[in-house]
Structure 1
Amino acid sequence: MRLLLVAACLVALAGCSTPAPARTAPAPATSPAVAASVAPSVVTQLAAVQLPAPLALPPSGLSVSSQEVTYRREGRTLRTIVWTPDRAGRYPAVLFSHGLNGSPEAFAPLLKSWAAAGFVVIAPAYPNTTRGAAKFDVYDVLNQPADAGFVLSQVLAGPLGKRIDADRLAAAGHSAGAITTVGLFTAARDARLRAGVILAGSGLGVGTAFSGTPAALFFVHGDADQLVPYASGRSTYDLVPWSKAMLTIPGGDHNAPFERPAATGAVLKFLRLELYGDAAARSAFTPTAQLDAHL
């Protein structure tokens, strides 16, 4: 019965994890019922994880290159795009997972902006949930945390690994990719990860048994999300036993976590805080932060 419920929920996400064209209409207002139940715009407990020794931030607006590589794990083909800053040096890295019917290319503007800010971004296309998959299978989301960890290992062991500071690694994802990311801190805990970004996600199918070395997690969720209910993301956030923060987007839909500039700006500050040790970025995660004013 539980597997049927998981499947039904995952099916509801199919086709809804690809960035939509830019909208000109304003976001819908939050209903009184939702407004009464949601958390403040920023809920934060970012204090439990020791920050790394500060690393100097690179200049803003770095030029970016991309490279496509393909890895194979137990018969599973994992086409992967890696975006890297063109400036010499080793950088923190972010492992990004797309949602159902998504792809790395669909998130290219967002991921290139992270690379331009000084991160190597590793984005696999999952074999049975990416757009155009020969055998689309929503259940396969449950295999993706293992895929993600494998891809990270391959990148670190190969030539691109020379561009990465392996002590400063994070994972991020949207929708089913956010579920994949939660899995990297629960059922398929990857001890190399010190931070995670959950964009419109929950612990559906991968559980909420957070384990291993503490990591910092940042949840971003619209309170009008019709595909992954806000309550499911908030309940997963509540069960995280480590350093954590959650940004609620008033009236935000499923794509708001990567479409709203204030949300994407907050994610970048979180990555700078946790992977660069940028103390200035912490101001975005105080209880009095007013990010919602510009959402």
Structure 2
Amino acid sequence: MSLRRRALLGTFLGLGAAGVGASVLGAAPAQAVSRPLDAPTQRFAIGVREYAWSRGNRRLTTRIFYPATGTPGGNPVTNAPVANGVFPIVEFSHGLGGNPESYAPLVRPLAEAGFVVPAPVFPTTSTGTPGNIQDVYNGNQSMDVSEVITRTLALNTTAGDPLAGHLDTAVGVGVAGHSLGGMTTHGLLTAWPDERIAAAVPFACVDMGNPSNRVTANVLFVHGDQDPICQYSSARQAYAELPAPKAFLTHRGTGHDQYIWSGYNHTQTIATYLDWMRWSLYGDTAARDRLPADATSGTTTTTWESTLTPPPAGAVVSLRSRANNQYVCAENGGAGQLVANRASVGPWERFDLIDLGSGAVALRSHANNQYVCAENAGAQPLVANRASVGPWETFQRVNNADGSVSLRAQVNSRYVSAQGGGSQPLIANATSIGPAESFDLVTG
């Protein structure tokens, strides 16, 4: 990034309206795994404790928010008793000119949901400091976060500390941050890697470097596509460079931070963020399955990659369109789009119908052993081109009164349609069911 670009970031990178308001773990798992801890179902009250830590001569005052005893819904209570249980850690990094309290909409929900949240006050970029963004580009803030993670994990065995015995030190840790804090978060996956990280959510970040093979984390990007401060294209580049599992939640027509605060897609932001962490750190598969619905609104678009485990084989079926009585074909051995244009059944017209539970199904083509995908969240025709099943490859089976079935794509809640009476490729874009959205399932 050019010095001019950095200077522009130094001028604009901040909270906007929001401003008012020695490794302990080994390598983290790439995906959520089976674990003895169950994700909490209740909402917790929030406690907060402050720790006067440092890294060399860098003071790292850190406020740790945590699940506490008491009635949920109030403000954090200083030194409140810790709730019963063992909880994963998710560190949060504030933006330029901010502090942990100014980011309450992203910090408090984590603690309420059953996470311990260390939130450092960075020494040169917090409220009332000079705003030295070079501390992000030279790695100081990413290394500060690693120090805070180490110190927090050590509390689990610190005699007399109220958090002792309440910290999950086996699953890895989560990290998140917005703006300059999002860049700090991305730096922990790239130029200043911390292999303890199992989940990350950078909000409104820019690309901080090439991914490190030392880190294997589930990464969710959240960004407004009209962000004037942190370029959307840079975040998309950062996303493209990382391996799956990953996702990108785009708030269309949105700037730098509106989606964080109450109103404007705040609900989608928080629900997706929390369930990403619940899946990644608690192994909560129900939270994983909620992700597409969490992220859906009239002004959001989400890219998902490898967020579900490939299921086993199911019944062999062909789909015959009620619009023209022709079978759906995976054109060119699955390399082309799906079209209902074949009078007979061969390998290109056969699919494994895989039951994912609760009425959800996936289709795997016999032409190439790839899963049918609602390309670009249903905006483009269906193609059998995916090696694993995620929300784009998941469809809800609807049993119609006439004996036919319809398929509703999970990514956009639209029905698969044989457009033009079957003369055009199948696409998940219909809001209601008619002949073009109705198929006979022919087995065998």
TM-score band by shorter chain is: 0.7 to 0.9
What corresponds to 1:16 in structure 2? Answer: 15
- CA separation in 2, counterparts of 1:289 and 1:118? 19
Instruction: Spell out the pairing of 1:1-295 with structure 2 (5 A cutoff).
Output: 2=1, 4-5=3-4, 7-16=6-15, 19=18, 49-54=30-35, 55-86=37-68, 87-133=83-129, 135-142=130-137, 143-158=140-155, 159=161, 160=163, 162-168=165-171, 169-203=173-207, 206-259=208-261, 260-285=266-291, 291-293=296-298
- Change in Cα spacing, 1:293 to 1:136, as seen in structure 2 (3 Å) is closer
Deviations 1:156-192 (A, max 9, x none): 1133353210223110000010000001111111111
- Change in Cα spacing, 1:257 to 1:190, as seen in structure 2 (3 Å) is farther
Deviations 1:19-71 (A, max 9, x none): 2568xxxxxxxxxxxxxxxxxxxxxxxxx933222431223221110011111
Q: Which is helix-richer, 1 or 2?
A: 1
- CA separation in 1, counterparts of 2:226 and 2:12? 15
Contact 2:45/2:67 (8 A) holds in 1: yes
Question: How large is the RMSD of aligned CA atoms in angstroms?
Answer: 2.2
Consecutive aligned runs of 4 or more in structure 1 exceeding 4 Å deviation: none
Deviations 1:223-252 (A, max 9, x none): 111111211111111111231001111122
Contact 1:221/1:247 (8 A) holds in 2: yes
- CA separation in 2, counterparts of 1:103 and 1:240? 28
Contact 2:92/2:175 (8 A) holds in 1: yes
RCO higher in structure (CA 8 A, sep ≥6): 1
- Change in Cα spacing, 1:125 to 1:289, as seen in structure 2 (3 Å) is closer
Q: Tell me, what secondary structure is at the counterpart of 2:65?
A: strand
What corresponds to 1:38 in structure 2? Answer: none
Shift of 1:6: 5.1
Q: Tell me, what secondary structure is at the counterpart of 1:219?
A: strand
Contact 1:283/1:289 (8 A) holds in 2: no
Q: Which runs of 5+ in 2 are unaligned?
A: 22-28, 69-82, 156-160, 301-444
- CA separation in 1, counterparts of 2:269 and 2:153? 29
Aligned-pair identity in percent equals: 35
Contact 2:204/2:223 (8 A) holds in 1: yes
Contact 1:200/1:221 (8 A) holds in 2: yes
Q: Which runs of 5+ in 1 are unaligned?
A: 23-47
Contact 1:71/1:77 (8 A) holds in 2: yes
- CA separation in 2, counterparts of 1:90 and 1:5? 46
- CA separation in 2, counterparts of 1:183 and 1:273? 23
- Change in Cα spacing, 1:194 to 1:116, as seen in structure 2 (3 Å) is same
Deviations 1:61-87 (A, max 9, x none): 211100111111110001111011112
Q: Tell me, what secondary structure is at the counterpart of 2:176?
A: strand
- CA separation in 1, counterparts of 2:11 and 2:297? 28
Contact 2:95/2:182 (8 A) holds in 1: yes
Q: Which is strand-richer, 1 or 2?
A: 2
Shift of 1:211: 2.4
Q: Tell me, what secondary structure is at the counterpart of 2:6?
A: helix
- Change in Cα spacing, 1:149 to 1:18, as seen in structure 2 (3 Å) is farther
- Larger gyration radius, structure 1 or structure 2: 2
Q: Tell me, what secondary structure is at the counterpart of 1:80?
A: strand
